[in-house]
Structure 1
Amino acid sequence: MDTGISKHNWAVIDPFEKQWSEIYYNTPVPKDDISYMEQLRSLPQKPDFENIELFARTDDEDTISTDVDDIIQFCKDLKKSDLDEQTREFIWLDDRTYTAYFPNMMSSSSHGNTRRKISSLDGHVINAHMSSSYEKPATSPIPGGNEAPCARRPSARYSPPSRSYNVPLTAKTLYNALKEKRFDHESLPDADRRLIYMPDPEPPDFFALTETVPRHQHGALRTAIAQHLAFSPLLEVNLSTSDIFIFQLDLHLPFFAMRTDAYHRNHTTTKLRREWIDLSFIAQVLPGSDKDGELGIYPAQVSVTMCGTSARHYTVYGFEDTDFDKDHGPAGDEEDDDDSTYIGVQHDQIIRGKQDANFPIWDPREYFLTTLKSRVRQIRNEWDRLVRTIERAYMSCTCHLLYWYQTMLQRLQILLPVLKATTDLWDNFVAPGGDILYFTTTTSPSCAPRIRNMLAAIRKDFEKLKALYKTLSQIQEQCEKGESSVEAQMMQQNNNNADLMILYICPVSVVSSFFSIDTPIMAFKRNLISFLGSTIVLMLIVQLLRLVKARQAYRPQWWRVIFTRGNQALQGDRNNIMRNIAGIRSVRRTRTV
């Protein structure tokens, strides 16, 4: 029985229930031979915009949103000729052909299959489709293909018959590669699964993507770029059936990377919300902080967007901020060098080199969770390092200066909202009716346990992030109390200084001014004895006035008692008014405490 379900047989039980459609296991190749931008430019009515602004805008938008404006400003006035000027080689491109890994998939798809339910965390159930179609990748070389010039480089080694690239690429070489027909090419195999990873993407890099993206991926790419520039977290799944069946999985995790170096002085970035933040005030109180450079944090973000029409045909866009690590290279390079043991290993850069790209994960949801697991662990380690450093700095001294507290509170006001928004992602993801429901079915018996274990590991890392948020919140609360305490001490000190001025300095100043008058009001001898005597008398008067004022604030308010009794007598209060033997009215005495 075919594992796919035709469109007219797909029954929706609950219109609001989130469920992964099995249509994505039996969807034909998308017919998008012409890019989205070429389609717009070929319209009879010429568009009003060009290049990146044409890509970012949509017809149904009357005003420019913040996300669109960020894209336009970042890639402002960019033209195709600018691709030649960009010579930076950092882009990783990986294409895989489905039939190279599953040559017998079509014949095995007619085999029967059964289902089994696997309980998972958060009370959800995973249904595993039993199938024996998985095989190891084919190892025959590409027919008629030539070995890549850099066969020993991590991303261009020997692999099953799929397209190979001399990576890392420049924006221009990426543009040329993406301009090639993806399916039914005359001489190249199909690029069924495509991975594009850009560390520290620059405007020409985005331009290479926007000029070649197919129409059905336009929205996903636009979201990926805008979300990455916005320094904003996102974890969600979207299924679209408006035109063709499209799935989109988004993972965007902002964080702060703490580094101690002098590199930030030469660090310039054109990205928004990526300014270096000084933490030198923390380093000053840390014990043994004798490292060269200044302590600071770099705002950074990992962005991964996956979109496609089926489990066999999809694209993954990965963007990551890494420029705070000047020695950053492709993930996995530190293991490769010249060790022959790793010949043939191609590290998946989107999963941080934790996966051999020659053994690709074809199921898009499993690939998404694998990436989420790796990236959450990455940002958890960065947050843990930062929070522990802040905690040690706060605990290293029992009393800090007011400036220290104020600066720390300013930094915490930057850190806490980002960390809170990140932890809320998981809560919303696993909440009742959350996007976790899209992952309650898997496609193979071997996949279900892995997904369950990955979800457990992801939840553990998010729980750790919540604990770090709680620690930062407690430090913020203690800093607020410390700031209030120091301010109260400073106010008391100011009051003491004011008393000193009034009691001692002012009398001397007044007497000196009086003695300096040419024609005095009162005739007396001006000598040292009269000067000292006048000063002492004035000091005593000032002190007497202070004592009278202080006692007045605490003296019994006896006049209020008389006023109250008299008012009650005038109102004729029967409880307080009595007549004596002579018939005369009088106020009854009452015992007071």
Structure 2
Amino acid sequence: MGGSTRLLKKRWRHDIFGKDRRPIEKPWIQGIRDIIRDEGIRETTPQDGTDAGAQEDLYTDNGMSAFIELYATPQSKAKELVEFCEGFSLDHPDHISEGQPATAWLDDTCFRPQDSQTLGPTSDRLCRRYPGFLTPLMLRHYLKQERFDHKSEPDADRRLIAIADLNPLYMLVLAETAPGHQVDALADALWKHFALQTSLRCQTVLKGYAVYKLELHIPYYPLRKYDMNTTPASPPMGKQHRKWRDLTFLINGSFKPQKELTGIHDAHISIVICGTDEKRWIAYSFVDSYFDDGDEMGSDEFSHVVAMADQIAGCGNYGMPINANNPIWDPLLYFSKVACIRMRQVEETWADLVRRVENGVRDFIDAHPSSSHQGKVIQSGDEEAMDVFLWISRAMESIASLLKVLQSTNRVWTQFSANGDLDYFDRQGFVPQETQTDVEAHLQELAEIFAQFKDHEDRLKDLIRQCELYGDTRLWTLQLTAVGSKAAQRNEAAAYLNILAVAPLQVACNLLAIPASVPLLKQDWKSLVTLILIMVIGLQILQYLLYLVKDRIPWQRWRRRLIEQLPTINLNLGMVLKILARLYETDKLRRPTTRRATEETLVNTRESMPV
């Protein structure tokens, strides 16, 4: 087992990369086009296994489909990038106008033995001087120049290319100017950045011209706020391959409308280094920044004399930019340092997002307790219970999607450690001890950063468990509410039957039992039917009027109280009418006796009076 594990460990091939290996820098696509032109195979059947359509594209189109499809890239990946670049061309007047965004940065430095040490601010390092940020057309112009043996410029042994908000035009520039030994690494980097992939690995590629490849691809989700009338930011060019996810409900812990939109943007950082020896390599960096205004640096950040900010490292280590005028020549040292800086930035973004999500869930649960609060049983209506249950379901779905990305991020570190990638950085005896010590320090810092990522993952798992427990309790409450609701509906149906059928009949009978209580009605069956119809129609009209004003008055609350008190009201009304009827009958019986007594009294009085 120990021997098998040793065989899986990756080693830096000093026997290959410790030598002076200056590559051929002719663009790969240009070389294929020259072959197609020279051999005249445009109108013949290809003999190299490629299809004629791809060769035609190489010769006439923007070249992206050929750059991807003719190399060792799955067709599914090729299709996504080809569709993203479809309709764009570096020769189209609209696409090469001066109004195109300038988000690319290029730094070319020539190696000298003294450059491996820290240079002073007044050093005359051999570098090519470029403007600050470059448009696609400007980047294309500089990349088409000879990297080595230029007539007037120093060699570009170390080349740094950083592009913010990678768009189709920049992709086409890179595809058109990439040398053959860089195509595999570049094509893979373009797709992984486009597709928000996660990767951290070191690799020695022995196919063709041997190269080493170091890559870091990390997705993350910056949290941003917008006014309700503002459209969330999106990439400035190309098909919208980055999404905005509205998490207003989750961050604010409420299902009620808010004054601001709060959500997350899809974002990604890609850093890839591909080289032929220890002093000749190219670093690519693709970073999303479309969601931040004013993120570009001013012209004072691009001084070739004092200090120039390394754009691959971004804002640098804890806000201190890396000075590109003091070049780091060792590729593993540069990669480990920049990876630490970028991963620290990503970790801070995740920390803020996880904390905000935790606060939102806690606030929601505190505002909608599942069972009791301060000794009082919480009784919520059916609509509120359903809203709470739906909020918890949406929250769990959103948290699960975030957890999936965090798990993928932590998984790459586990694989990076277990598969021997860390051993790739062990070059004791091949590099100065100071360089090896710095590399190990960066790797230890990287391990601490990923430990914090693991903590964020555990916190999201705890949130999901908390939501599941709360949701189960709420679901049980909702089920009990549903059972009670069915019983209430049955009681309500019986009450409506009582109101519309039994009550009118009872009230009509009681009214007709009192003679002359209702004018124009006699004590017969026609009057009974008339009274019943009048009351039934009146109840229907009253119900319709209450329906029209249901949003203005608490009709539902009144309705429940009416139904609850209906038996008592009906009983009391019947008793009152019965009492009135009895009083009337008693008065009716007493009236003749009283009249006769009065008449007798008058007669006796008259008789006793003298004549």
Is the TM value for this pair above 0.5? yes
**Retained in 2: the 8 A contact 1:257–1:298?**
yes
Output aligned runs, 1:23-422, within 5 Å: 23-43=15-35, 44=39, 45-46=41-42, 47-49=55-57, 50=61, 51-58=63-70, 64-65=75-76, 67-82=77-92, 83-85=95-97, 87-99=100-112, 101-102=114-115, 134-137=116-119, 160-262=125-227, 265=231, 267-269=233-235, 270=238, 273-285=241-253, 293-330=260-297, 344-352=306-314, 353=316, 354-397=321-364, 398-400=366-368, 401-422=388-409
CA contact (8 A) 2:122 2:305 kept: no
Shift in Å, 1:242: 2.1
The 3-state SS of whatever aligns with 2:346 is helix
In 2: Cα distance, 1:343 partner to 1:293 partner? 46
- Aligned match of 2:453: 465
Q: CA deviation at 1:407?
A: 2.1
Question: C-alpha displacement at 1:414, in angstroms?
Answer: 1.8
* Secondary structure of the corresponding residue to residue 359 of structure 1: coil
DSSP-derived class of the 2:75 partner: coil
Structure 1 position 17, deviation (Å): 3.7
Residue 483 (structure 2) aligns with: 495
Q: 2:468 aligns with which of 480, 483, 489?
A: 480
Which residue type is aligned with residue 407 of structure 1?
R
Question: How many percent identity over aligned positions?
Answer: 25
Residue identity matched to 1:472 = L
Per the alignment, residue 494 of structure 2 pairs with: 506
Q: 1:435 and 2:421 equivalent? A: yes
Where do 5+ consecutive residues of structure 2 fail to align?
43-54, 369-387, 506-524, 536-562, 568-611
8 A contact 1:278–1:295 mirrored in 2: yes
Deviations 1:133-157 (CA, angstroms, capped at 9, x unpaired): x44448887xxxxxxxxxxxxxxxx
Shift of the 59–404 alpha-carbon distance from structure 1 to 2, 3 Å rule, reads closer
Q: C-alpha separation between the residues in 1 aligned to 2:71 and 2:443?
A: 39
**Contact kept in structure 2, 1:100 and 1:161, CA below 8 Å:** no
Quote the residue 1:21 is aligned against: 13
Structure 2 vs 1, CA of residues 264 and 16 (structure 1 numbering), >3 Å: closer, same or farther?
farther
Measured after TM superposition, the shift of residue 327 of structure 1 is: 2.0
Q: Which amino acid aligns with 1:453?
A: A
Shift of 1:74: 1.2
- Indicate conservation of the 8 Å contact 1:200/1:322, yes or no: yes
**Which whole-Å CA distance do the structure 2 matches of 1:478 and 1:14 have between them?**
43
Which consecutive residues of structure 1, in runs of 5 or more, have no partner in the other structure?
1-12, 103-133, 142-158, 518-522, 540-593
Distance 1:511 1:293, change over 3 A: closer
Cα displacement (A) at 1:167? 1.8
- Give the 3-state SS of the residue equivalent to 1:68 in structure 2: helix
2: distance between equivalents of 1:284 and 1:410? 16
Please give the alpha-carbon distance, in whole angstroms, between the structure 1 residues aligned to 2:433 and 2:251: 52
Quote the offset at 1:284 in angstroms. 3.4
Task: State how far apart, in whole Å, the 1-side matches of 2:279 and 2:9 are.
Answer: 25
Relative to structure 1, the CA distance from residue 383 to residue 271 in structure 2 (aligned partners, 3 Å threshold; closer, same or farther) is farther
- Look up the equivalent residue of 1:177 and give its one-letter code: Y
Query: Which has more helix, going by share of residues?
Result: 2
1:83-134 CA-to-partner distances (Å, cap 9, x unmatched) read: 51362122110001002744xxxxxxxxxxxxxxxxxxxxxxxxxxxxxxx4
SS at match of 1:80: coil
Describe the shift of the 1:324–1:295 C-alpha distance in structure 2 as closer, same or farther (beyond 3 A): same
Q: 1:516 to 1:140 in 2, by over 3 A?
A: closer
Structure 1 pair 471–266 and aligned structure 2 pair: CA distance change class (3 A)? closer
* Structure 1 residue identity aligned to 2:79: D
Tell me by how many angstroms 1:429 deviates: 0.8
- CA-CA distance at 1:266 after TM superposition: 5.0
Which deviates the most, 494-503 or 25-34? 25-34
CA contact (8 A) 1:277 1:298 kept: yes
Moved beyond 4 Å, runs of 4+: 13-16, 138-141, 270-273, 510-517, 525-528
Q: Provide the rounded CA distance (Å) in 2 between the counterparts of 1:199 and 1:264.
A: 23
Deviations 1:27-53 (A, max 9, x none): 334342420111121223341434111
- Please give the TM-score of this superposition, normalised by the length of structure 2: 0.68
Which of 413, 425, 447 is matched with 1:426 structurally?
Answer: 413
Contact preservation (8 Å) 1:24, 1:311: no
Residue identity in the other structure for 2:214: L
Please tell me whether the aligned partners of residues 273 and 281 of structure 2 are also in contact (alpha carbons under 8 angstroms): yes
Provide the aligned C-alpha RMSD in A. 3.4
